[in-house]
Chain A
Amino acid sequence: MIRQQRRMFLVMVSVTAFGLAEAWSAEPGPMGGPPAAPNAAVIYWQAFASLPTLTDEERTKYDAVTKTSSEPLPDDVPTLLERFESPLNDLRRASSVPTCDWNLDYSAGPGLLLPHVAKVRELSRAGILRARWRFAHDENDEALADVLAVLKMGRDCGRSPLIISLLVNIAIETNATDTLAASLPTLDEKQLDTLLVRIKALPKPASLPNCIRTEEAVFGGWLEGQVAAAIAKAADPQKGGQLFVDALKAVGFFDPQAMDQDAATKLNELTVDDVRESLRLLRADYQKLIAIAELPPTERKKQWEEVDARLAERKTMKNKNDHVHLLSTTLLPPLSRVSEREESFENRNRLLDLAIQIQRHGRDSVTIPGTVEYKKTDGGFELSLPNVENGEAEVLKVGVAK
């Protein structure tokens, strides 16, 4: 018996040793152990962890200098930037790591934690501030590296197929491209060539249709699971109203106490089948939204308006049909606003690409599309392109007015 145990022990030790030797022989990590797959998210989190807690005075100053991208910077900005040295070093380090996996727990449904999103936004402000300071002091290579690191982080955030991640990426890129465009005239040919290549190599953010698909799964799928579990326990299939209220409250979007008495009474009359139907309608509405988001911007605008009008009408809760649509009216995001921002973001990227080429090769050597307006300005030039969805022109100002 003892010999058998000893033999088994030796076999286990041999197998373990063989496995470790195989793993370590592939490519040793820095400490001689198995190599870890590089993940930019891990480096970003190191940056977030070392973000400084600013004093009230520093915060006021920081907010003031990061509010605009065109105002001249005060002389004491380096003191402020010193506080961000460690996180900004990590930001630059992460910019050379292509993979970024935030390891989000989508199974948490609406409770999905997104602690990185606000931190990404916060760190980007510091990165852009340092780039502006460096551009203003002729440190163009370093400034470019800072802006590109910020753009990469924004895209790394926007790669998660969630509307909030997409919106944060768009906001970051808008600020970063403003800074970049203001300094384009100070860049030399090599820097402009590098910039164009690096921008094209940035990871692509998730598309709006994909974001809607994910949110359908996160909200709709999660809710279905919750409701199914509640239905299994429900004693009376005719009493779906409370189950419905509980489901909506679980999502966190709904305050039944804010409903008027009539609407609350009608809600209580719903059956379990009505709840099932509401879930089916929610899924169907998500599919309609995906189909609209996949249309070109010229066709989207009218469709969003129709969806918004229909949902607003149902929110009045006049009849039972409106109540059965309560999941859709409560949960569906205001996608027309997201779609407007996405179009504006895409147009801005087109303008930036064009602006770099104009700066690099000269106005006369670049074919400017008919929809884009070129205007010479005091400090450089201005490009504008009309956004179909919000009816406003997307404007990129190249150079700073003297």
Chain B
Amino acid sequence: MTDKPESCDAWQTQLSWLAAEALPESEAAALRQHLTECPGCAARRQQLVSLADDLSRLSPRAEELNAIQDRLIAKTMSAIDLAGPSRDVIPGRCMVAWRWLVGGIVATAVSIGVLWFGFRASETPGPDRSVAERQSGGGDLELARPTLRAYAIAFARSNESLDSLLQVHGEQMALSSPGRRPFLLEEFP
């Protein structure tokens, strides 16, 4: 092994994202380079890929989380009318955002799997999502979070948009967008 153990630790989060096929290409290239030099991480990646496949096939919880996310995002987007004409100039943004979302859920499941198998949790921050989201348009997901920014944007559109957004957030707490520090992972009971 050419790397010190500490530098392997620094790759663990990205490894989960790579296994879920949700790591930005700019970061994936560097990680792939590391994998060619580090058999330990390469083996771990293989385990994670296999685990991700198993989880996505077997875990009803992942599907449940998907459904919750689907409902919330769909309701939020419909509430604040994101499908308006100004957004049509950027085709495919939502699709990319959805890919991030689904990838994020699988990556979360993979991370849980990592803990399950007794790997030491990495304390390094996740990928730089701000850059990735700017590229993918994933910033729209910000509106699913109960922030001052989200409410100000909704109110700037209309009183009704604000009311709808509050209604959605009131019924179901916003879930975290992938790669961000989780706000709340679960619905309230």
Chain A positions within 8 Å of B, measured between CB atoms, are 48-54, 59, 110-115, 117-119, 121-122, 162-164, 167-168, 171, 218, 249, 251-253, 255, 257-258, 333-334, 337
- A401 → B minimal CB distance (Å): 27
Q: A162-B148, A257-B90 are in contact. Are A113 and B166 (CB under 8 A)?
A: no
Whether B148 lies near A51 (C-beta < 8 A) is no
Contacts of A51 in B (CB 8 A): 188
Interface with A: B6-14, B98-106, B150-158, which one? B150-158
Whether B166 lies near A49 (C-beta < 8 A) is no
Q: A114-B147, A118-B169, A168-B166 are in contact. Are A258 and B86 (CB under 8 A)?
A: yes
Q: A118-B170, A122-B170 are in contact. Are A48 and B188 (CB under 8 A)?
A: yes
- A312 → B minimal CB distance (Å): 13
Give the size of the chain B interface in residues (CB under 8 angstroms). 34
B142 beta carbon closer than 8 Å to chain A: yes
Whether B152 lies near A110 (C-beta < 8 A) is yes
Whether B187 lies near A121 (C-beta < 8 A) is no
Q: A53-B189, A118-B170, A333-B155 are in contact. Are A251 and B149 (CB under 8 A)?
A: yes
Which chain B residue has the least Cβ–Cβ distance from A54? B171
Whether A50 lies near B171 (C-beta < 8 A) is no
Whether B166 lies near A118 (C-beta < 8 A) is yes
Cα distance A335–B13 when bound, in Å?
44
B33 beta carbon closer than 8 Å to chain A: no
24 contacts between A and B (CB under 8 A): A53-B172, A110-B147, A110-B148, A111-B149, A113-B147, A115-B146, A115-B183, A117-B151, A117-B166, A117-B169, A118-B146, A118-B170, A119-B169, A119-B170, A121-B166, A121-B167, A121-B170, A164-B151, A164-B152, A168-B166, A252-B139, A258-B86, A337-B155, A337-B159
Residue in contact with A122 in the complex, picked from B89, B151, B171, CB distance below 8 Å:
B171
Whether B170 lies near A113 (C-beta < 8 A) is no
B35 beta carbon closer than 8 Å to chain A: no
Q: Which 6 A/B pairs are nearest by Cβ-Cβ distance?
A: A122-B170, A118-B169, A110-B149, A118-B170, A112-B148, A164-B151
B134 beta carbon closer than 8 Å to chain A: yes
Cα distance A164–B165 when bound, in Å?
12
Chain B positions within 8 Å of A, measured between CB atoms, are 86, 89-90, 134, 139, 142, 145-149, 151-153, 155-156, 159, 162-163, 165-174, 183-184, 187-189
Contacts of B174 in A (CB 8 A): 115
Contacts of A333 in B (CB 8 A): 152, 155-156
Contacts of B172 in A (CB 8 A): 53
Q: A257-B90, A334-B156, A337-B159 are in contact. Are A50 and B189 (CB under 8 A)?
A: yes
- A171 → B minimal CB distance (Å): 8
Contacts of A117 in B (CB 8 A): 146, 151, 166, 169
Whether A114 lies near B146 (C-beta < 8 A) is yes
Residue in contact with A164 in the complex, picked from B134, B155, B183, CB distance below 8 Å:
B155
Which chain A residue has the least Cβ–Cβ distance from B163? A171
Cα distance A217–B64 when bound, in Å?
40
Contacts of B159 in A (CB 8 A): 337
Contacts of A257 in B (CB 8 A): 89-90
Residue among B163, B171, B174 with max Cβ neighbours from chain A (10 Å): B171
- B167 → A minimal CB distance (Å): 8
Contacts of B89 in A (CB 8 A): 257-258
Contacts of B90 in A (CB 8 A): 257
Whether B151 lies near A53 (C-beta < 8 A) is no
- A44 → B minimal CB distance (Å): 13
Contacts of A114 in B (CB 8 A): 146-148, 151
Which chain B residue has the least Cβ–Cβ distance from A125? B170
Which chain A residue has the least Cβ–Cβ distance from B148? A112
Which chain A residue has the least Cβ–Cβ distance from B171? A122
Cα distance A218–B170 when bound, in Å?
24
- B38 → A minimal CB distance (Å): 33
12 further A-B contacts with Cβ under 8 Å, apart from A117-B151, A121-B166, are A52-B189, A59-B171, A114-B147, A117-B166, A117-B169, A118-B146, A119-B170, A121-B167, A251-B149, A253-B153, A255-B86, A337-B155
Residue in contact with B173 in the complex, picked from A111, A115, A171, A253, CB distance below 8 Å:
A115
Contacts of B173 in A (CB 8 A): 115, 119
Contacts of B134 in A (CB 8 A): 249
Cα distance A112–B146 when bound, in Å?
8
Contacts of B151 in A (CB 8 A): 114, 117, 164
- B174 → A minimal CB distance (Å): 8
- B15 → A minimal CB distance (Å): 28
Cα distance A112–B147 when bound, in Å?
5
Cα distance A334–B154 when bound, in Å?
11
Cα distance A249–B134 when bound, in Å?
9
Cα distance A218–B149 when bound, in Å?
10
Contacts of A167 in B (CB 8 A): 155, 162
Whether A252 lies near B142 (C-beta < 8 A) is yes
Contacts of B183 in A (CB 8 A): 113, 115
Which chain B residue has the least Cβ–Cβ distance from A63? B167
Which chain B residue has the least Cβ–Cβ distance from A52? B189
Residue in contact with B188 in the complex, picked from A49, A121, A249, A251, CB distance below 8 Å:
A49
- A53 → B minimal CB distance (Å): 6
